[in-house]
């Protein structure tokens, strides 16, 4: 059977997210709710959503809307019916009765419940109907969260479950993991437990919330929101409901019960409207003092707020062994939290799943951890773990492992999918090389470079690894979310602070040289971006020979926002792309003016559909829904291009002063209207100089080297100004640009 038409019932947060994502996969979908007005409003919310739920906003009307009284006959035609109504069993039972009366024979029916067991949901169904009923637990926001838990029962037609799994994997791009019918399934059972452990241990060990978040965050391979930040993000009241549901569903003896008890401070926060970011604030809040916004953090003992302290525990890289061996409160806290998570997760195998491997992957896909509990155990070292752990009595998994002390018990990754993923392939590399900013995996017939810095920011070492890896066909791809957020500005500013501009110049030159090498080396280079692909990250991608892009990509040249201009070939490549159009052939001003507008405003695109009109991506670049497939598609590109010949160098004929004057007239108007301010003018004029070709005219041919030189000179002029340095520092400190 094939899934060609879907009906989603319930158009709230989840129903609308699921419908939008089906629309992303070009599957006709109808969204039903109690009234058409509610589902129409949901469609409007989808349209306005940020980050956008739709890859292509123009397709919004491909989502049909209606109500469950007048339009229920659409269920007859659907191959899959997803129920996403409120978490109330009576309401869900009523809906199932209606669905199973109306649906066509053999269609799949699933619930998006987060807490009701399948046995309870399907209690009133006939044995025949139970064959086609399962749980499909999506995470919010549906487009961006990769985890999908599929819960089956012993009554299911397994072939059908497999069809659904394949559809969700390949068409919707989800990491679909099959799990047993237990409370919270895999992701929430372990993820929420981990949050509760991180929180209760912080109380017990007298850590401030900033200290806990600085430890239970990047140093553990966990997103930097930490635990208290994540609580605020999810909603403190919502978390309280989730905990109540776990307390109700889990047996008294479950370790979860000990950490799920209501905490007086949390109760008080909810009662006073401090429900997190959506409320007045939560563990953190923004306060205005003398007209200045100040981030404050709560004191766990007194409940009072004080300005939040920046904690740097000096552990930039994930190194769990070093972290738990630290002889300070951070080390002790880390060991306590990690060991408890490992003990709890392992105690649940095989009850919640036969594959412990799936727990790790659920944490990766659903909570963005870089490693799950079992991989953490392998990293810490099995012998090391058993030397330190005090008790694991009754934990069958650990008791078995204690017998073998097998340091390599984990085995292959991502067992839940048949796709040949980067996670799987990395482990089979015959030879691994690299440096502190990137790893090179070497195989017989190709290389892989994976960036390994924070947000995959690029520095001299990243370039070194890329250059070194072009001795064979090369795929540039990352397992972590971002392809690259751009050049490492902290690294650049370290030189600027010392007045060492020579080193910055050397780095930019090396960046240019490497990108040129990527483009013209004898072997094909494929970039497989996903997530942030900005600034320098974009420049690496755009100077690769082929691109296989994930559909969740944020791409663009954003340098002007920090007072710089793209200098790694970004201006050059964008000019080349826009010069290669009919319009540019008719009008020599067309390409420079277009690129001036795009780079000048630091425009970004949030999907390939938005990226193509800007020419950040080309129609021939591959666009892929499932991030797991990026490697497979990249490898196919290499196979199809075995007789690869590097491209011919581009020649640029640019109008010079003529078009630069035109740009400056435009800038003067923006300046007079106070849309751009003093330093904005300086930056824009440098950009105008580069994009017009500098001191040239339309009959003069410029080479790529000429363009690189123009970019470098403009970049160096700007980085030497105090205003640009202030902008960079402000952005590094706050994560936000200075306005102008
Ligand atoms: P929601 O409150 O945002 O939306 C529920 C929708 O159901 C509302 O639009 C409501 O009008 C509609 N509804 C109520 N009764 C109905 C009926 N009889 N027929 C048709 N529509 C009806 O809820 P949500 O957050 O989208 O959650 C939906 C389901 O997904 C729940 O089972 C929840 O447990 C689960 N879930 C939620 C999240 C999350 O983060 N919000 C994550 C995973 C799973």
How far, in Å, CA of 595 to CA of 578, rounded? 7
Structure tokens at 275: 């429900």
Whether pLDDT at 324 is above 80 = yes
- Determine the pLDDT at residue 736: 84
Residue 653, strand partner residues: 701
| Residue 675 structure tokens | 């849309």
Among 292, 276, 215, 203, which residue's Cα sits nearest to residue 241? Answer: 276
Cα 113 to ligand 1 centre (Å): 8
Locate the ligand 1 atom nearest the alpha carbon of residue 11 and give its number.
Answer: 9
Residues 6+ apart with CB under 8 A from 438: 449, 450, 451, 452, 453, 461, 462, 464, 465, 466
Query: What are the tens digits of pLDDT across the range 696-725?
Result: 999 999 999 999 999 999 999 999 999 999
Label residue 556 left, alpha or beta by phi (over 0 means left) and psi (-120 to 50 means alpha). Answer: left
Average pLDDT value over all residues in the chain: 96
C-alpha of residue 323 to centroid of ligand 1, in Å:
41
| Rounded Cα–Cα distance for residues 369 and 574 (Å) | 35
Ligand 1 pocket mutation, candidates 11, 13, 230, criterion most atoms within 8 A of CB: 13
pLDDT of residue 734: 83
Q: What is the mean pLDDT of residues 245-249?
A: 94
Tell me what pLDDT residue 1 has.
82
Taking the C-alpha atoms of residue 629 and residue 548, their distance in angstroms, rounded to an integer, is 10
| Closest residue by Cα to residue 231 from 266, 187, 272 | 266
Q: Please report which confidence band the pLDDT of residue 314 belongs to, taking 50, 70 and 90 as the band edges.
A: confident
Distance of CA 666 to CAs 12, 398, 676, 690, 697, Å? Answer: 45, 69, 11, 16, 20
For the ranges 53-67, 337-351, 586-600, 726-740, the lowest mean pLDDT is seen at 726-740
Q: Band the pLDDT of 740: cuts 50, 70, 90.
A: low
CA of 10 to the centre of ligand 1 (A): 6
Average pLDDT over residues 299-303: 96
pLDDT tens digits for range 602-645: 999 999 999 999 999 999 999 999 999 999 999 999 999 999 99
Q: 478-516 b/e with 16+ CB inside 10 Å = b?
A: bbbbbbbbbbbbebbbebbeeeeeeebbebbebbbebbb
Distance from residue 241's CA to the centre of ligand 1 (Å): 15
Nearest CA-CA partner of 197 in 325, 296, 305, 342: 342
Nearest residue (CA) to ligand 1, atom 28: 84
User: For residue 138, which atom of ligand 1 is closest to its CA?
Assistant: 43
Which of 42-46, 387-391, 615-619, 731-735 is least confident? 731-735
Q: Residues 6 or more apart from 565 whose CB is under 8 A from it? A: 559, 571, 599, 683, 686, 687, 690, 711, 714, 715, 718
Cα 564 to ligand 1 centre (Å): 46
Q: How confident is the model over 136-152, as a mean pLDDT?
A: 97
Cα–Cα distance list, 398 to 335, 406, 506 (Å): 17, 11, 53
Q: What is the pLDDT of residues 193-232, one digit of tens each?
A: 999 999 999 999 999 999 999 999 999 999 999 999 999 9
Q: Which atom of ligand 1 is nearest to the CA of 16?
A: 26
The beta strands (E) that lie in 578-685 are given as 604-605, 622-624, 652-653
Protein residue with least CA distance to atom 3, ligand 1: 12
Cα gap 676→683, rounded to integer Å: 10
Q: How far is the CA of 13 from the centre of ligand 1 (A)?
A: 7
pLDDT score of 735: 83
DSSP one-letter string for 603-617: -EESSHHHHHHHTSS
Ligand 1 atom nearest the C-alpha of 140 is: 40
In ligand 1, the atom with minimum distance to the C-alpha of 94 is 18
Pocket, ligand 1, Cβ cutoff 6 A: 9-15, 33-34, 38, 68, 84-87, 91, 95, 112-114, 137, 140
pLDDT at 158: 93
Backbone angles phi, psi at 285, to 5 degrees: -150, 155
pLDDT at 430: 87
User: Cα of 663 to ligand 1 centre, how many Å?
Assistant: 52
Question: Using an 8 Å Cβ cutoff, are 345 and 374 in contact?
Answer: yes
Q: How many CB atoms lie within 10 A of CB 405?
A: 12
Across 133-171, b (16+ Cβ under 10 Å) vs e yields: bbbbbbbebbbebbbbbbbbbebbbeebbebbbebbbbb
Instruction: Report how far ligand 1's centroid is from the alpha carbon of 117 (Å).
Output: 16
User: Where does the pLDDT of residue 739 fall: very low under 50, low under 70, confident under 90, or very high at 90 and above?
Assistant: low
Atom of ligand 1 nearest to the CA of 92: 18
- Measure Cα distances from 35 to 11, 19, 157, 374, 563 in Å: 10, 17, 33, 47, 50
Q: Percent of the chain, pLDDT > 90?
A: 96
pLDDT value for 99: 98
pLDDT of 351 above 80: yes
pLDDT at site 737: 84
Q: Where are the beta strands (DSSP E) in 644-738?
A: 652-653, 701-702
């Amino acid at each position: 059977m094939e899934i060609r038409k879907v009906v989603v019932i319930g158009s709230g947060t989840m129903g609308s997210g699921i419908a939008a994502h089906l629309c992303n996969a070009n599957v006709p979908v109808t969204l039903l709710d109690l009234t058409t007005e509610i589902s129409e409003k949901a469609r409007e919310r989808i349209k306005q959503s940020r980050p956008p739920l739709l890859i292509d906003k123009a397709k919004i009307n491909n989502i049909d809307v209606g109500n469950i009284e007048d339009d229920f006959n659409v269920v007859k035609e659907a191959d899959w019916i997803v129920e996403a109504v409120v978490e109330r069993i009576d309401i869900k039972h009523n809906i199932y009765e209606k669905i199973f009366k109306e649906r066509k024979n053999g269609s799949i029916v699933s619930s998006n419940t987060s807490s009701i067991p399948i046995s309870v949901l399907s209690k009133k169904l006939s044995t025949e109907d139970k064959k086609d009923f399962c749980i499909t637990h999506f995470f919010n926001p549906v487009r961006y969260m990769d985890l999908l838990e599929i819960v089956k029962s012993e009554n299911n037609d397994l072939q059908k479950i497999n069809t659904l799994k394949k559809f969700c994997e390949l068409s919707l791009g989800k990491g679909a993991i099959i799990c047993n019918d237990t409370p919270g399934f895999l992701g929430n059972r372990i993820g929420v437990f981990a949050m509760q452990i991180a929180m209760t241990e912080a109380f017990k060990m007298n850590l401030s919330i900033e200290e806990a978040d600085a430890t239970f965050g990047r140093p553990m391979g966990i997103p930097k929101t930490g635990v208290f930040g994540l609580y605020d993000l999810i909603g403190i009241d919502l978390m309280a409901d989730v905990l109540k549901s776990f307390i109700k569903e889990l047996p008294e003896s479950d370790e979860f019960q000990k950490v799920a008890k209501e905490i007086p401070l949390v109760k008080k926060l909810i009662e006073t409207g401090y429900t997190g970011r959506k409320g007045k604030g939560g563990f953190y809040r923004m306060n205005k003092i003398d007209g200045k916004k100040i981030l404050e953090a709560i004191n766990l003992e007194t409940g009072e707020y004080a300005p939040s302290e920046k904690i740097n525990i000096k552990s930039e890289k994930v190194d769990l062994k070093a972290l738990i061996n630290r002889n300070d409160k951070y080390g002790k806290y880390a060991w306590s939290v990690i060991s408890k998570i490992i003990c709890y997760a392992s105690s649940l195998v095989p009850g919640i799943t036969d594959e412990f491997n799936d727990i790790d992957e659920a944490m990766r896909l659903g909570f963005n951890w870089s490693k799950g509990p079992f991989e953490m155990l392998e990293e810490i070292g099995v012998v090391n773990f058993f030397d330190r752990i005090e008790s694991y009595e009754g934990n069958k998994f650990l008791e078995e492992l204690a017998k073998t002390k097998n340091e390599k018990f984990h085995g292959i990754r991502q067992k839940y999918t048949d796709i040949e993923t980067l996670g799987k392939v990395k482990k089979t590399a015959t030879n691994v090389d690299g440096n502190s900013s990137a790893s090179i995996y070497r195989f017989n017939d190709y290389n892989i470079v994976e960036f390994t810095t924070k947000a995959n920011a690029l520095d001299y070492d990243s370039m070194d690894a890329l250059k070194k890896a072009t001795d064979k066909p090369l795929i540039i791809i990352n397992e972590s979310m971002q392809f690259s957020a751009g050049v490492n500005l902290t690294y650049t500013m370290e030189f600027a602070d010392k007045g060492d501009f020579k080193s910055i110049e050397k780095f930019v030159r090396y960046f240019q040289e490497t990108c040129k090498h990527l483009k013209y080396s004898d072997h094909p280079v494929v970039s497989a971006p996903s997530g942030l692909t900005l600034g320098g990250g974009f420049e690496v991608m755009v100077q690769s020979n082929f691109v296989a892009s994930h559909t969740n990509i944020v791409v663009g040249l954003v340098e002007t926002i920090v007072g710089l201009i793209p200098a790694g070939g970004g201006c050059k490549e964008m000019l080349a792309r826009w010069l290669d159009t009919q319009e540019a052939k008719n009008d020599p001003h067309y390409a420079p003016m277009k690129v001036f507008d795009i780079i000048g405003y630091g425009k970004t695109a949030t999907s390939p559909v938005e990226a193509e009109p800007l020419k950040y991506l080309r129609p021939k670049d591959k666009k892929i829904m499932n991030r797991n497939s990026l490697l497979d598609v990249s490898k196919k590109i290499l196979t199809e291009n075995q007789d690869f010949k590097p491209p011919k160098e581009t020649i640029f004929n640019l109008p010079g002063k003529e078009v630069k004057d035109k740009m400056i007239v435009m800038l003067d108007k923006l300046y007079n209207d106070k849309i751009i301010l003093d330093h904005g003018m300086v930056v824009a004029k440098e950009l105008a100089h580069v994009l017009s070709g500098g001191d040239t005219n339309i009959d003069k041919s410029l080479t790529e080297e000429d363009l690189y030189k123009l970019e470098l000179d403009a970049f160096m002029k700007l980085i030497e100004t105090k205003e640009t340095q202030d902008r960079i520092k402000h952005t590094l400190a706050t994560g936000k640009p200075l306005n102008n």
